[in-house]
Amino acid sequence: MPTRDRITSPEGVAFRDLNGNGTMEPYENPTLPAGARVADLLTRMTLEEKAGLMMMSILETGADGSIVEGGGLFRDATSTLIHGKRMNHFNALRLPGSRAAARWSNLLQDLAAETRLGIPVTLSTDPRHSFSENLGAALAAGAFSQWPETLGFGAIDDPELVGRFADIARQEYLAVGIRGALHPQIDLATEPRWARAAGGFGQSAETTERLVAAYLRGFQGQRLTPASVACMTKHFPGGGPQRDGEDPHFPYGREQVYPGGGFEYHLRPFRVAIAAGTAALMPYYGLPVGLTLPDGTAVEEVGFGFNRTIITTLLRDQLGYDGIVCTDWGLITDQQVAGLPFPARAWGVEQLSRPDRVARVIEAGCDQFGGETCPELIVDLVRSGRLAEERLDVSVRRLLLVKFELGLFDDPYVDEAAAELIVGRPEFAAAGRAAQRRSLTLLKNDGPAGLPLLPLATGTRVYSPDLSEEEVRKHGVPVPDPAEADVAILRLRAPHEARNDYFLEARFHAGRLDFDAGTLARVAELSRITPVVLDVYLDRPAILGTLADDAAAIIVNYGCGADCLLDVLFGAASPQGRLPFELPRSMAAVEASRPDLPGDTADPVYPHGFGLGYAAGVARG
């Protein structure tokens, strides 16, 4: 395993030899308080090094764990970012196998160790323990243990389970050198159409408050230590109430609205996260429209990352938060990625130049720029007199403190062989599958003669175009013709409107929630042949329409493998989830609802909290 060049004091304390003369540098002394080490290192840093610390960007990984030197989806060479731009905060994109991922992390630390001050890299990640594959929000599990989406934890509503998940994810992250979690997402899914619902715990502030505290304890512990993964809770002060449910990654979705006066409701989980010691917060892209704080202060209509009233007045002064604030991705620079435009999310300040946008973010009270690689703009602003270097020092202290608390200066390396043994280990994988089963939510269970259809008996003849014969054969008998089947099992996904004008747009499921006429007709026709068991993946609410009548049984999932689904359908496990949001009756009801209030659609088909159990076959509440 690679190690940095070190010398050792007579007391056995390791120090880095910065100058090659045997000097034992205090900022490397692990026996000193972290604050003292930060203060010492800060005096040694150049303006360029401070500016580099304030940037975070995405890095790609070679398939064998090698360093990628440009030419990928994001074209910056890794060595240029670390050596040329003095950057040392990065977000890992897709990772190869666990051993190769650990090797890559170590190679990054080797590059960082070659810089003048040897400031180690903090490697972070978006969620990567479930089923989503969205480069703007989450990554599929790969070698890591696989769990339901965060929304599934909201359906289970068990803080102990969430804490167990977070502890397992922490161990897997540490094994490959990931020290920052760009999550939890604790936005409330009050606008049924919003594309980011799967990343949060649902519409309920009460549920989210309970679960975020457990989540942070599992990743961070009571305080940050070398055994912690530092969490960046998002998206302050609460995404979700978007006009028409559109997402502010894109220009048409920039407006965040509060017609029901629900701002404080969305703020509630963040109060808990702050009290629980979240290491960092990320403001959302949204531009608040017509918003005033509870004390009557009017909020300027600019994106939250540029918004001094939100970041300094509310977050820093009123809520007393003194941790890191990192912007959401790409507020400064227009980009073209994969041949598609990705305009800077500079909502409300589009007319400003890039340097003016940078100044506006720092003046608002933010410490770090997500998705940007332009530290030279900060340097120029200081040298021109627009920004004081002392203001940068405030942010740099916060960023360095987390590195020291995580123990990165003392040993940033990982054991590549051990990573293979830890990541995805059998008991971790089993816990993830158990959570998938538990999260399944049974909405309807009507069989012949008024008896429940589920669970199915072993040996049931099953027609299913969406499951492999091998999967079905573990419990039942697959048949190719629905006329020969005792039951048909169909797997559907919540509807969305296809879009692809901007980079990432097709990955954000937005627009209408109702199923198309062809899907409705197909299920209706099949139900006339044999009873239909309908499984629907919900990454946001769905309008079931006639499916609610035509299917004999309806179960919904939030990320669930076929084996786990069949275990539940055949009674090897039981569904325990409850809906983390209501399922609206119609698009008219959605359009008439207030996007900032939970459960605001008229006469939902299934209300928030609904779920059936096998034993009683009645709703649990």
User: Which of 247, 328, 367, 596 is an active site residue?
Assistant: 328
What SS3 string covers 233-285?
EEEECCCCCEHHHCCCCCHHHCEEECCCCCHHHHHHHHHHHHHCCCCEEEECC
Helices 263-275 and 205-220, axial angle in degrees (round to 10) = 20
Residue 481: CA atoms inside 13 Å, Cβ hemisphere, count? Answer: 2
Diameter over CA atoms, the chain: 87
Sign of CA dihedral 169, 172, 174, 178: negative
Nearest to 195 by CA among 245, 235, 238, 152: 245
Residue 328 annotated among the catalytic residues of the structure: yes
Q: Which two tokens stand for residue 331?
A: 């507020």
Distance CA 187, CA 281 (A): 12
Residue type, 261: G
Distance CA 172, CA 421 (A): 10
Per DSSP, the residues of 477-528 read: EE-S-GGG-SEEEEEEE---B---SSTTGGGS-BS--BPPHHHHHHHHHHHT
Lookup result for tokens 């936005």: 187
What's the N-to-C CA distance of the chain in angstroms? 53
Q: Which two tokens stand for residue 419?
A: 């990573």
Contact between residue 463 and residue 488 where contact means Cβ atoms under 8 Å apart: yes
Q: What is the DSSP letter of 424?
A: T
The string over 225-234, giving b where at least 16 C-beta atoms fall within 10 Å of a residue's C-beta and e elsewhere, is: eeebbbbbbb
Q: Which two tokens stand for residue 329?
A: 């991705």
Distance CA 387, CA 361 (A): 11
Catalytic residues: 328
